[in-house]
A = this chain, B = another copy of it.
């Protein structure tokens, strides 16, 4: 059974190569979409090349509705997008994938059934297919160069739907078994280094010492150290001191 996640259906219109149908299924499932419809696939159905290429997303092919005509595939949909790379001489709104998937999300939330049509590999959708759509999606590519294939178009559209639907953390920090160092821990580290570097004659000449200490403290705080970083840096300094002391005796 398809997932219960509210989502648009992706309609592959007269796809040619089974490989591309399989790759489109994978592209959809990467972003959690699993409602595929297929219109009149060139090489019939089921298609073993599609199954081979879909690998982990084979379920989408098993559950895909296969239809003879575009009209039949869109039967129950209330809002339909057509993806095209170029203008079609029809008066119709044209959306970026971003704006289109924002609109799709709103319409789906309001209970509408939304579909996105993708055309055959070589030629794209026929004007007759585009005329059935309420709106067009055009990926804003480099005007000098367009070479998106079917699976890549599907990928970008699915990515945009998920990007806007799922609460995604823009930034998080992966913590590897250690908390951030507290201010007092950074302070102790700074003191440790200042004391030893003072003994070592690092802060020279004296009139520059204050500025050098500020720079060093700034370095520690800018680094955003973890507790284990501070421990390691304490260890570094202790070891240098030990080495120096040993050196005097050797």
A residues contacting B by CB (< 8 A) are 26-27, 29-32, 55-57, 87-96, 98-99, 102, 136, 139-142, 144-148, 152, 155-156, 159, 162-163, 166, 168-178, 226, 229
Q: How far is the CA of A188 from the CA of B117 in the complex (A)?
A: 36
A174:B92 contact, CB within 8 angstroms: yes
Is there contact, CB below 8 Å, between A92 and B30? no
Find out whether the CB atom of A173 lies under 8 angstroms from the CB atom of B92: yes
Given known contacts A32-B142, A140-B168, what 6 new A-B pairs fall within 8 Å (CB)?
A91-B174, A91-B226, A94-B174, A96-B163, A155-B155, A156-B159
The docked-state distance in angstroms from the alpha carbon of A135 to that of B78 is: 43
Copies in the assembly, this chain:
2
Assuming the A-B contacts A91-B226, A159-B156, A163-B98, are A30 and B141 also in contact, with contact meaning beta carbons closer than 8 angstroms in the complex?
yes
- Knowing A141-B31, A173-B94, the reply to whether A57 touches B163 (Cβ < 8 A) is no
Closest partner residue, chain B, to A155 (CB atom): B152
A-B contact pairs, 17 of them (CB 8 A): A29-B142, A30-B148, A32-B144, A56-B147, A88-B174, A90-B174, A91-B175, A92-B173, A92-B174, A94-B171, A94-B172, A96-B170, A140-B162, A140-B166, A140-B168, A155-B156, A159-B159
Which partner residue on chain B sits nearest A173 by CB separation? B93
B-side contacts of A174, CB under 8 Å: 87-94, 136
